[in-house]
């Protein structure tokens, strides 16, 4: 098997690469990445030691793809500008060039030289106004979905694939939604085999988290290194909720999808931890304190970003039924693994998470 992973030195791409190598030791694997994301360069020697071919390239440049040798049985499109805040305070050029034009370049390459594509999209394709209009109740530690809802595609199980996407959702979300639409056209017009996964928050060891992307790993790191944190938005109480997905659970799903391309090509699936693997920031704080033994200074800011939402939980019933899949790792497992990674690599990671 010949596998290409674009964005393969990033957190998700590199984790999938390692899992594919472990489970397919004879596969030929090529990793393409522009190394823009901080920490990505640290993954390159590890991937090379595992026998993977690393190419320093950019999906915005068609020649970087065209120059890759041979054909590929599988492309995992994991490259992205992943911040929902991208373009808010400046030009949208990079997010649109990477997430939309880059996808077009990947599809043109795949049309000619790839057997099947797994596209990692995002839950951020869903419109912000309907997400904020979900009926919620406030518990002691989190926001929770009310049983009765007037919006299509939301239930106590979370947000499903038919939730509204017709209103604004951020430049990041719009770029990924546009990519989804074009992928489906390539499937219909050219017979490309492709599956689209709308991923929620993916978190685990090896993620160099920031506030605008990877905040849950950042939360653990700040507790580990004793750095202050801040609850921001929606009253500043930390009751915002997200579901988390461990990259090994994502790999388990992708491996099942790859052998089912003929039956699911062109389809879209919500992929995340669901209700059972969800947490609020307030709950995460308590868990981080228990795991690290540290309590950090916590400030409160009631200012809410225009692209923030109080709750997102993936309704994974469709993907679960289609592939007989469900996430195995819980929030506590993810936090413990991140803390262990920080401890084992403290000297290397301290300058990234806790610079002097």
Residue 312: per-residue pLDDT: 98
* Every domain of the chain and the residues it spans: 2-351
Helix 215-225 / helix 281-292 crossing angle, nearest 10 deg:
40
Cα–Cα distance, 229 to 226 (Å, whole number): 9
- To the question of domain 2-351 being in CATH 3.40.50.720, the answer is yes
Q: pLDDT band at residue 127, thresholds of 50, 70 and 90?
A: very high
User: Which tokens belong to 186?
Assistant: 């390539």
Cα–Cα distance, 117 to 4 (Å, whole number): 10
Cα–Cα distance, 139 to 142 (Å, whole number): 5
pLDDT in tens, 165-208: 999 999 999 999 999 999 999 999 999 999 999 999 999 999 88
Q: pLDDT band at residue 355, thresholds of 50, 70 and 90?
A: confident
What pTM did the predictor assign?
Answer: 0.96
Q: What is the mean pLDDT of residues 29-41?
A: 91
Q: Are 129 and 167 in contact (CB under 8 A)?
A: yes
Q: Are 311 and 145 in contact (CB under 8 A)?
A: yes
Q: What is the mean pLDDT of residues 137-151?
A: 97
Residue 75, pLDDT > 80, answer yes
Cα–Cα distance, 91 to 97 (Å, whole number): 11
Nearest CA to 117 among 69, 184, 65?
A: 184
Instruction: Using alpha carbons, list the distances in angstroms from residue 301 to 169, 205, 218, 233, 279.
Output: 23, 28, 18, 6, 20
Residue 212, pLDDT > 60, answer no
Residue 142, pLDDT > 60, answer yes
Q: Are 146 and 136 in contact (CB under 8 A)?
A: yes
Residue 38: per-residue pLDDT: 77
Q: pLDDT band at residue 243, thresholds of 50, 70 and 90?
A: very high
Residue 58: per-residue pLDDT: 97
Of the listed ranges 261-265, 301-305, 352-356, the one predicted with least confidence: 352-356
Q: How many CB atoms lie within 10 A of CB 62?
A: 16
Percentage of the chain with pLDDT > 70?
Answer: 98
Residue 81: per-residue pLDDT: 87
């Amino acid at each position: 098997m010949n596998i290409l992973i674009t964005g393969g030195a990033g957190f998700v791409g590199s984790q999938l690469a390692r899992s594919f190598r472990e489970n397919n030791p004879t596969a030929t694997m090529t990793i393409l990445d522009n190394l823009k994301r901080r920490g990505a360069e640290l993954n390159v020697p590890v991937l090379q030691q595992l026998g993977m071919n690393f190419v320093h390239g950019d999906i915005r440049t068609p020649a970087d793809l065209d120059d890759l040798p041979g054909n590929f049985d599988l492309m995992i499109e994991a490259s992205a500008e992943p911040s929902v805040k991208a373009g808010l305070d400046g030009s949208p050029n990079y997010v649109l060039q990477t997430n939309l034009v880059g996808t077009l370049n990947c599809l043109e390459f795949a049309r000619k030289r790839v057997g099947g594509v797994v596209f990692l999209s995002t839950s951020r394709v869903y419109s912000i106004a309907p997400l904020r209009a979900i009926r919620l109740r406030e518990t002691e530690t989190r926001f929770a979905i009310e049983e009765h809802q007037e919006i299509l595609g939301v239930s106590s199980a979370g947000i499903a694939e038919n939730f509204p996407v017709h209103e604004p959702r951020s430049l990041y979300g719009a770029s990924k939604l546009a990519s989804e639409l074009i992928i489906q056209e390539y499937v219909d017009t050219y017979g490309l085999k492709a599956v689209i996964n709308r991923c929620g928050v993916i978190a685990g060891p090896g993620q160099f988290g920031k506030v605008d992307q990877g905040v849950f790993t950042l939360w653990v790191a700040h507790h580990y290194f004793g750095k202050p944190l801040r609850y921001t938005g929606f009253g500043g109480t930390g009751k915002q909720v997200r579901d988390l997905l461990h990259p090994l659970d994502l790999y388990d799903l992708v491996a099942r999808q790859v052998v089912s391309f003929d039956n699911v090509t062109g389809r879209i699936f919500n992929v995340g931890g669901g209700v059972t693997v969800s947490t609020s920031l307030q709950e995460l704080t308590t868990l981080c304190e228990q795991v690290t033994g540290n309590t950090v200074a916590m400030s409160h800011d009631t200012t809410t970003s225009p692209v923030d939402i109080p709750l997102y939980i993936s309704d994974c019933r469709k993907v679960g039924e289609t592939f007989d899949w469900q996430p195995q790792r819980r929030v506590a497992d993810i936090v413990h693994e991140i803390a262990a990674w920080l401890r084992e690599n403290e000297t290397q990671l301290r300058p990234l998470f806790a610079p002097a």
